[in-house]
Structure 1
Amino acid sequence: MAAQQSSKSSMWDKTKSASSNWFQKVGGPVNKLSNKLGAEAFWPASLENESDKAARILRSFCIDGFQAEQGGKHGNEKKHKSLDKIPPEIIRNCKGLAIFTVMRVGLHWSGAGGSGIIVAKMPDGQWSPPSGILIHTLGFGLVAGADIYDCVCVINNENGMDGFTRVRATVGGEISAAVGPLGGGSTVDSEVFKRQSAVWTYTKSKGLYLGVQIDGTIIVERTSENERFYGIEKVRNKEILAGRVRPPQGGVLVTLWETLQACEGHSYDLSKLPPAGAAPGDHELEQPRMDSQKEYDAFSQDEHMDRKQYS
């Protein structure tokens, strides 16, 4: 029995070491590249930073609003832009949220990567602590150049939550998703009541609503970072999202939780919210220089091989 336990411990140590090496290998080149392109380091190493980033994304979607195109469906009707938001009713009635940023770069190799968090609504109406996630896509049809966008996935039911709490799941596969509704009043109430999709997605870039599906996006549980943040070996996202894990002390999640309160339409302390206009996807990116593209191409190949090794 002791030998078996020692073997399991040794295997666990190897797995943690491999995962740690993978994050070091991935995080450095991507953040270096994002800095070259004029973006913030959108693949932070800590769940503390991810939670703050998620709060900024939520503020931009739910409080400050974004530009969305309207009209243009009938005859010569011209399209126009209006300020829109994710309605508070949507957030109040959901089971959980996945919030993340993705950066796409592609001239010779096309793909996307990013990171974020998931939070769940507990039975008492309070929000759970966050669980870290990684985002990955392989899109060989992406347009040459670079793009960065923010995404909020509104999880409407238990089927949607089950998909997001897998170690690895794909939007459009294990996770059924559709573009979420905008606006307010009776239209939103009707959409919320019908619950036509397990997950609604909202995407925007540079302040403009994209309204596109994200099928093919792979969501991966950040087991190693969750362990580090909560100080519990082998902690799983289901435990975290059920509220069975206590977050670290020191108020590291105050900004996130206050922003979630505000997004639901409840009273909030403005001083505890993140600053306006600071979401990662709202940054303007310059066209990548050739040395940046070569660096990303090399990173992409390494990342693809490492994922195969550690999956």
Structure 2
Amino acid sequence: MPATQSPFESPEEGAPISQEKRLGDRLVLGLEKIGGSLNNFSNRIGSEAWWPTTLDHECEKAARILSSFCKDGCYPERSSAPDSLGPKSKPKIVVKIPQRVFQNCVGLAIFTVMRSGFSISTAGGSGVVIARKEDGDWSPPSGIHVQTLGLGFMVGIDIYDCIVVINSYEALKSFNRFRFTLGGEISAVAGPIGVGGLLEVELSETHKPLWTYMKSRGIYCGLQLDTTIVIERYNENARFYGKKISIDEIFAGQVTNVPLQAKMLMEAARRAEGRV
């Protein structure tokens, strides 16, 4: 468990929100019908939904993604709700993130992105961020929208799931801004996947503010140098929690009523670090 004290302890409630924050979800809402069709197609081919959905669905998706990266699977039961989203079959565990990685981190960003292009690739997606609170437990999630413009050789379309492991509170504080650049303002490298002594070496030699883990479906080739912009979904956070709420308040756990889907994600995070 990280010893550094969380900076998200006692934010002021009702802090003024800039006009820019209110623009984060408007384009998404305007294109909701198109996004629904794209997500349905993604689910039919066995991928997670990448177009931004309501935060209850984003939490369910994030719990599935997180569990699919775990050593023991820990796959959550699929919701029986008629509007439940997600692929029809359980994903294969392609990359296993060691428990030590989860135990030592201070936050997790979990999202799905669709990428397409040739020479210049573009990508968009959605997900959530959770933070470790002062008491060592996990916070409820904050919704995020992801946009990427990459330079490099790429062919075709790909949908991939990603977990960004946040290793310092300084890096975590970047996520409480309305918009910031992942891989630009903060360096991110592929995270360790070794076991035993090899894992210890990797943990000591590759310690960076952000570690990334990715598994993809579809066809693509080559290497991309990407700049990923992470944007807060302010309006969706307010809808999900029933009031205007800042990321600081969410990360500090100052949520009056935590929705069931958020609790399910928080439970998946506890399982990932071996606490359940």
Question: Normalized against structure 2, the TM-score is what?
Answer: 0.74
Partners of 1:158 and 1:260 lie apart in 2 by 18
Equivalent residue, structure 2, for 1:285:
none
Aligned ranges for residues 12-161 of structure 1 at < 5 Å? Answer: 16=22, 19-36=24-41, 38=45, 39-64=47-72, 84-106=95-117, 110-139=121-150, 141=152, 143-161=154-172
AA at the equivalent of 1:22 = L
Residue matched to 2:269: 260
Mapping 1:229-308, distance limit 5 Å: 229-233=240-244, 235-249=245-259, 251-267=260-276
CA distance in 1, matches of 2:218, 2:105: 24
Distance 1:205 1:64 in 2: 20
Distance 1:232 1:140 in 2: 40
**Equivalent residue for 1:299?**
none
**Partners of 1:92 and 1:260 in 2: how far apart?**
10
- Summarize the Cα distance change of 1:214–1:236 in structure 2 as closer, same or farther, 3 Å threshold: farther
Gaps of 5+ in 2: 1-15, 74-92
Kindly indicate whether the alpha-carbon contact (under 8 Å) linking 1:31 and 1:42 is maintained by their aligned counterparts in 2. no
After superposition, the Cα gap between the structure-2 partners of 1:213 and 1:177, relative to the gap in structure 1 and judged at 3 Å, is farther
The answer to whether the aligner puts 1:206 opposite 2:217 as a matched pair is: yes
Q: Secondary structure at the match of 1:245?
A: coil
Amino acid at match of 2:57: N
Deviations 1:218-273 (A, max 9, x none): 1111111111111222x221221121223435x23232122112110223xxxxxx
**Distance between the aligned counterparts of 1:219 and 1:142, measured in 2?**
23
Kept after mapping to 1: 8 A contact 2:166/2:210: yes
Q: Is the 8 A contact 2:113 2:161 kept in 1?
A: yes
Deviation string, structure 1 residues 158-178 (Cα, Å, up to 9, x no partner) = 221122222111122222211
Residue 142 of structure 1, CA deviation: 5.2
| Residues 144, 195 of structure 1: alpha-carbon distance in 2 compared, 3 angstrom cutoff | closer
- Matched residue, 2:178: 167
How far is the alpha carbon of 1:64 from its aligned partner? 4.9
Q: CA deviation at 1:134?
A: 0.5
Letter in 2 for 1:252: Q
What CA distance in whole angstroms lies between the structure 2 residues aligned with 1:222 and 1:127?
Answer: 19
Q: Letter of the aligned partner of 1:25 in structure 2?
A: G
The structural deviation recorded for 1:140 is: 5.4
Q: Is contact 2:49-2:112 (8 Å) kept?
A: no
Partner of 1:184: 195
- Separation in 2, partners of 1:166, 1:227: 16
1:11-50: per-residue Cα shift (whole Å, max 9, x none)? 96x974x555312234432332343463554324211111
Identity among equivalent positions (%) equals: 44
Show structure 1 runs of 4+ deviating over 6 A: none
Change beyond 3 A, Cα 1:264–1:137: same
Counterparts of 1:159 and 1:136, CA distance in 2: 22
Q: What is the identity, as a one-letter code, of the residue corresponding to 2:256?
A: R
- The answer to whether the 8 A contact 2:120-2:152 is kept is no
Q: TM-score, normalised by structure 1?
A: 0.67
Gaps of 5+ in 1: 1-7, 66-81, 268-311
In the other structure, the counterpart of 1:298 is none
- SS class of match (1:216): strand
Structure with bigger helix share is 1
Paired amino acid for 1:119? I
Kept in 1, the 8 Å contact 2:21–2:178? The answer is: no
The structural deviation recorded for 1:204 is 0.8
Change (3 A) 1:108 1:29: farther
State how far apart, in whole Å, the 2-side matches of 1:49 and 1:147 are: 21
